[in-house]
């Protein structure tokens, strides 16, 4: 049987049969657009008739550089059928058939290939069309468009001479806009264009409609191997052997009088998701007029009054399309002389709000399953829903009025408005005592700035990248934050900052948009969504939890964080950083005393003072997490982080010495000596974590004491506590073997004394490459692993995050040396490989090993997918990202089920 090269829109079943029934293969054969038009036709939707030349024909053409045998004859045959169906004649002088000729590959390649409209117009049919429409201006406009498109697309004439001619005409007529040109003008331009074609191409414009069609179809085939298309496919990873189909379709016109119209519509409100038709139309107009906004469009509901019967038909069609495609549709339609035609349907773009509402309502309507609904919403959309935003209009106005002060890295999403303060202590004071809304501004932040950052509504820094200290802390606490706004010159001494002359003094208002990195002068209005009010989202996340193969826990240091985490649906605390508690103003002096202690007794005494504080913190955590596990990480940072900075001390001592100020000099010098002795060249890889605990076990012994005292106290109050003690920075199993038994004995003593037995675990972070490489050994001692992917990424890549992000890493991502910032999404080939090894080899030794992640990647959807794929039990992230992670976890599982 000879190959069939052409399918009518009505022949979708034949196409299905030809490829063996799979829709995917129909799309491959007919292209996406053609398959879709055929699909709509099958549904009984009124689609202007036409036919599809298959991608196979395209491939045959590419091979022989000519139409395959029989193809053209099939096309002519189908053209006849279209004439018959529409009562028109191609090239006829009464009711001429005009067609479009469009490309259409399996995968959409927007704008990459060619289209020719109004094929069939020539000097004769123009007259017939004028007769038919009674609008000379419109018809000559159509004709000159054909001349122009055919000229450039089919004959390869540059567009400029055409546009130049139009401009010349406008100049002549002393008008500015195309619409101001008359029928006469367009008629004259058609003459000019024909001359232009003949001059540039060396032959006259083909008046024969069949010749036009033949050449247009060939041009579409050729465009498949045009440079633009090839580049696009290379970039998008689309195979070059797919070929494109050619869609030949009857032209319809919404500008053929007052019984004609054209419009676009969404089957539901794309902003809110409400189930109400949403869109615009124009009477007696062309499709592009609706979009161009030259004339005032009518809301779609008005159609009901003007064309009640057609509107009912339209609603029924839309409903049918929604049911068929099981999604909200974005449709284009034209009414030509009282006849409704559907030109296109596709899934409609929507806001995050709408996405959630539509997904949930469609489940309730029985249209889609819960799993399908989950996949209809992206984690990023959930993110958007949870952070306050500036009112769009207000931001637009501010930008227009030159109030955009600076732009930086969007480090922590959300909108914040407040008064600028340039140090943590002032910021905290203004916020707490004067109840001001505060934006803390610093060149960069340090751990001892945290109290100010927590008190602030927003944070702005001029240095650092997306994972600088400021960014990490801000995300952790959900404070909107822009970092690395390099144009901002901060003058800490004069308490002001400026960008190109615009100056902001301490106390002035600014507005910080952590979602997109914008910083505005002044006070912009915001809208602030709340999770508990977002019922559809809550429903969706509930479904996510049912589906997800791994849990979502949260990183929380304080009881308030833990409560928020629970309210956002976290099923555990994956990381409580105990040292943050040490930075609280009332505790820091005790901590410093402990560090500077000359004897073990002095140290233990200071630790005794700290113990009740820590115990209280833990009690609050356990209470908030009643029945859920709480992983508490023992002290991790190097001790010098709790002391004044070396640089500051050097400066102070040099100053005192230069001025011969002996008062207090000795004490400062002593302190400097101590700080210098503790100074490290690379503190990230120095004396911290378990290393510190081995050299100075008193601190962690105190911490474990506090954990178990808290656990005992809460247990006695009827609360179910599940403490898990996490030992950080382990690189060799012997470190665990050294410290863990000591700590377990502290725990045991507390429990024995209280006669209370508590279910607990001891485990470790996997954040040193060597720990991952020897996970089998480490799992012999550790009962759980938690991937500290921040440090693991730092060490696997040899990137110091603090240094890299403000420096070469941005360039790396910009230049695509790295496909993605590895501190945002797990690098699967390197870091991920270590993680996969660790899970596999750890579980081989201890099948019940609990495995999670507590690095920032725990809140990143792509990373969550990876975590699911290697069989982790949970991911842990900032409380604010818990909802996002819950959805991402569900997605991960659903995608695994597909694969």
Footprint on this chain of a second copy (rule: CB under 8 A): 646-647, 650-652, 654-655, 657-659, 680-687, 691-692, 694-695, 729, 731-732, 734-735, 738, 767-770, 773-774, 777, 791, 794-800, 802-804, 807-808, 811-812, 815-818, 827, 829-831, 833-834
Q: Give the residue among 895, 735, 764, 766 at the shortest CA–CA distance from 832.
A: 766
Cα–Cα–Cα angle for 28, 30, 31, rounded to 5 degrees:
65
Give least dist CB 825 to a second copy, A: 14
Give least dist CB 794 to a second copy, A: 7
Token readout for 803 is 């240094």
Query: Considering beta carbons, is residue 667 or 898 the nearer one to a second copy?
Result: 667
Query: How much of the chain is helix, strand and coil, in % rounded to 5?
Result: 50, 15, 30
Q: Give the residue among 322, 270, 272, 279 at the shortest CA–CA distance from 300.
A: 279
Across the strands, what pairs with 158?
A: none
Query: Considering beta carbons, is residue 518 or 827 the nearer one to a second copy?
Result: 827
The rounded Cα 623 to chain-centroid distance in angstroms is 35
What is the bridge-based pairing of β-strands 722-727 and 458-461?
Answer: unpaired
State the CB neighbour count (10 A cutoff) for residue 97: 21
Q: Give the residue among 385, 104, 334 at the shortest CA–CA distance from 220.
A: 104
Give least dist CB 729 to a second copy, A: 7
State the CB neighbour count (10 A cutoff) for residue 873: 18
Decide: helix, strand or coil at residue 766: strand
Distance CA 848, CA 828 (A): 24
State the CB neighbour count (10 A cutoff) for residue 300: 22
Which of 58, 190, 318, 854 does the annotation list as catalytic?
854
Query: Considering beta carbons, is residue 16 or 777 the nearer one to a second copy?
Result: 777
Token readout for 805 is 């992000």
Query: Considering beta carbons, is residue 261 or 672 the nearer one to a second copy?
Result: 672
Token look-up 């009643």 returns: 626
Q: Please tell me what DSSP assigns to residue 664.
A: T
Query: Considering beta carbons, is residue 137 or 688 the nearer one to a second copy?
Result: 688
Query: Considering beta carbons, is residue 701 or 791 the nearer one to a second copy?
Result: 791
Query: Considering beta carbons, is residue 16 or 463 the nearer one to a second copy?
Result: 463
Q: CB neighbours of 581 closer than 8 A, spacing ≥ 6?
A: 557, 558, 587, 613, 614, 617
Give least dist CB 597 to a second copy, A: 18
What is each CA distance from 34 to 11, 150, 637, in whole angstroms? 11, 21, 62
Query: Considering beta carbons, is residue 591 or 696 the nearer one to a second copy?
Result: 696
State the CB neighbour count (10 A cutoff) for residue 845: 15
Query: Considering beta carbons, is residue 827 or 865 the nearer one to a second copy?
Result: 827
Give least dist CB 491 to a second copy, A: 14
Give least dist CB 774 to a second copy, A: 5
Which of 78, 387, 407, 469 does the annotation list as catalytic?
469
Phi then psi for residue 204, to 5 deg, are -70, 160
Give least dist CB 686 to a second copy, A: 4
Q: Give the residue among 118, 5, 18, 23 at the shortest CA–CA distance from 72.
A: 5
Q: Give the residue among 868, 825, 693 at the shortest CA–CA distance from 765.
A: 693
Q: Give the residue among 160, 157, 98, 161 at the shortest CA–CA distance from 124.
A: 98
Q: Is 469 a catalytic residue?
A: yes
Query: Considering beta carbons, is residue 110 or 798 the nearer one to a second copy?
Result: 798
Give least dist CB 654 to a second copy, A: 4
Distance CA 876, CA 574 (A): 5
Give least dist CB 768 to a second copy, A: 4
Token readout for 129 is 């069309």
Distance CA 401, CA 307 (A): 44
Query: Considering beta carbons, is residue 304 or 800 the nearer one to a second copy?
Result: 800
Token look-up 């009010």 returns: 533
Give least dist CB 467 to a second copy, A: 13
Exposure b/e, 187-225, CB count within 10 A at least 16 = b: bbbbebbbebbeebeeeebbeebbebbbbbbbbbbbbbe
Query: Considering beta carbons, is residue 579 or 802 the nearer one to a second copy?
Result: 802
Distance CA 456, CA 705 (A): 34
Give least dist CB 692 to a second copy, A: 8
Contact 697, 600 (CB under 8 A): no
Q: Give the residue among 765, 638, 634, 756 at the shortest CA–CA distance from 706.
A: 634
Q: Give the residue among 726, 730, 719 at the shortest CA–CA distance from 743.
A: 726
Query: Considering beta carbons, is residue 361 or 856 the nearer one to a second copy?
Result: 856
Across the strands, what pairs with 52?
A: 7, 247
Give least dist CB 33 to a second copy, A: 36
Contact 276, 301 (CB under 8 A): no
Give least dist CB 814 to a second copy, A: 11
* Sign of the torsion formed by the C-alpha atoms of 723, 728, 732 and 735: negative
Distance CA 448, CA 582 (A): 10
| SS (HEC) of 137-198 | HHHHHHHHHHHHHHHHHHCCCCCHHHHHHHHHHHHHCCCCCHHHCCHHHHHHHHHHHHHHHH
Q: CB neighbours of 561 closer than 8 A, spacing ≥ 6?
A: 477, 554, 555, 879
Q: Give the residue among 443, 448, 447 at the shortest CA–CA distance from 459.
A: 443
Residues marked as catalytic: 469, 854
């Amino acid at each position: 049987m000879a190959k069939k090269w052409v399918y009518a829109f009505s022949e979708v079943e034949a196409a299905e049969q030809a490829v063996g029934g799979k829709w995917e293969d129909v799309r491959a054969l007919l292209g996406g657009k053609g398959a879709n038009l055929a699909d709509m036709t099958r549904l009984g939707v009124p689609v202007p008739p036409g036919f599809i030349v298959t991608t196979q024909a395209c491939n045959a053409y590419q091979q022989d550089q000519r139409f395959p045998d029989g193809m053209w004859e099939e096309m002519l045959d189908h053209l006849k059928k279209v004439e018959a169906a529409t009562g028109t004649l191609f090239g006829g002088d009464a009711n001429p058939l005009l067609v479009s000729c469009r490309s259409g590959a399996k995968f959409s390649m927007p704008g990459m290939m060619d289209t020719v409209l109004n094929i069939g117009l020539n000097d004769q049919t123009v007259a017939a069309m004028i007769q038919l429409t009674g609008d000379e201006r419109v018809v000559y406009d159509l004709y000159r468009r054909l001349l122009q498109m055919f000229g450039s697309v089919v004959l390869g004439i540059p567009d400029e001479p055409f546009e130049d001619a139009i401009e010349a005409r406008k100049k002549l007529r002393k008008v500015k806009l195309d619409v101001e040109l008359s029928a006469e003008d367009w008629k004259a331009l058609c003459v000019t264009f024909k001359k232009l074609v003949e001059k540039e191409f060396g032959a006259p414009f083909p008046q024969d409609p069949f010749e036009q069609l033949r050449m247009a179809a060939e041009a579409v085939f050729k465009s498949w191997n045009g440079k633009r298309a090839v580049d696009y496919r290379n970039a998008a990873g689309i195979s070059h052997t797919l070929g494109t189909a050619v869609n030949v379709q009857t032209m319809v016109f919404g500008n053929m009088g007052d019984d004609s119209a054209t419009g676009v519509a969404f089957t539901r409100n794309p902003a809110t998701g409400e189930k109400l038709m949403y869109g615009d139309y124009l009477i007696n107009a062309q499709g592009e007029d609706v979009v161009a906004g030259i004339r005032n469009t009518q809301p779609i509901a008005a159609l009901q009054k003007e064309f009640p019967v057609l509107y009912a038909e339209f609603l029924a069609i839309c409903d049918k399309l929604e049911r068929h495609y099981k999604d909200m549709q974005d449709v284009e339609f034209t009414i030509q002389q009282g006849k409704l035609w559907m030109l296109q349907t596709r899934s409609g773009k929507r806001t995050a709000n709408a996405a959630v509402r539509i997904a949930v309502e469609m489940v309730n309507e029985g249209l889609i399953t819960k799993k399908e609904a989950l996949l209809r919403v992206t984690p990023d959309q959930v993110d958007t829903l949870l952070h306050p935003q500036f009112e769009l209009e207000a931001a637009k106005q501010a930008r227009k009025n030159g109030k955009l002060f600076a732009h930086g890295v969007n480090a922590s999403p959300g909108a914040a408005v407040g008064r600028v303060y340039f140090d943590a202590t002032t910021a905290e004071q203004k916020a707490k005592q004067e109840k001001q809304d505060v934006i803390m501004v610093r060149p960069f932040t340090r751990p001892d700035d945290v109290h100010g950052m927590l008190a602030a509504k927003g944070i702005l820094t001029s240095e650092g990248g997306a994972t600088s200290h400021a960014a990490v802390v801000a995300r952790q606490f959900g404070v909107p934050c822009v970092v690395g706004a390099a144009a901002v010159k901060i003058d800490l001494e004069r308490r002001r900052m400026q960008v190109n002359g615009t100056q902001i003094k301490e106390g002035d208002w600014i507005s910080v948009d952590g979602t997109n990195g914008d910083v505005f002068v002044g006070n912009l209005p915001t809208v602030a969504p709340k999770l508990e009010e977002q019922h559809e989202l809550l429903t969706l996340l509930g479904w996510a939890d049912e589906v997800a193969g791994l849990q979502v826990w949260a990183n929380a240091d304080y009881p308030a964080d833990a409560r928020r985490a629970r309210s956002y649906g976290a099923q555990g605390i994956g990381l409580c950083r105990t040292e943050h508690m040490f930075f609280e103003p009332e505790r820091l002096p005790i901590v410093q005393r402990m560090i500077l202690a000359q004897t073990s007794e002095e140290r233990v005494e200071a630790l005794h003072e700290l113990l009740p504080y820590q115990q209280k913190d833990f009690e609050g955590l356990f209470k908030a997490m009643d029945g859920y596990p709480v992983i508490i990480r023992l002290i991790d940072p190097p001790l010098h982080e709790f002391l004044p900075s070396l640089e500051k001390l050097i400066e102070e001592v040099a100053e005192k010495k230069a001025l011969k100020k002996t008062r207090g000099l000795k004490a400062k010098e002593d302190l400097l000596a101590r700080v210098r002795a503790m100074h490290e060249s690379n503190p990230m890889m120095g004396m911290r974590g378990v290393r510190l605990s081995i050299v100075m076990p008193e601190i962690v012994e105190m911490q474990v004491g506090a954990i178990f005292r808290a656990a005992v106290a809460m247990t006695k109050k009827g609360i179910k506590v599940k403490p898990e003690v996490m030992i950080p920075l382990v690189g060799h199993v012997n470190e665990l073997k050294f410290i863990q038994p000591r700590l377990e004995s502290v725990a045991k003593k507390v429990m024995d004394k209280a006669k209370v037995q508590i279910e607990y675990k001891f485990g470790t972070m996997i954040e040193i490459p060597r720990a991952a490489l020897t996970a089998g050994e480490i799992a012999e001692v550790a009962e759980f692993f938690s991937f500290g992917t921040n440090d693991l990424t730092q060490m696997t890549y040899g990137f110091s995050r603090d240094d890299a992000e403000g420096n070469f890493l941005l360039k790396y991502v910009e230049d695509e040396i790295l496909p993605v910032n590895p501190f945002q999404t797990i690098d699967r080939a390197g870091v991920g490989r270590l993680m996969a090894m660790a899970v596999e080899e750890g579980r081989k030794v201890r099948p019940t090993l609990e495995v999670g992640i507590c690095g920032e990647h725990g809140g990143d959807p792509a990373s969550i997918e990876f975590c699911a794929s290697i069989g982790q039990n949970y991911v842990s992230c900032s409380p604010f990202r818990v909802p996002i992670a819950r959805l991402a976890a569900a997605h991960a599982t659903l995608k695994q089920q597909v694969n």
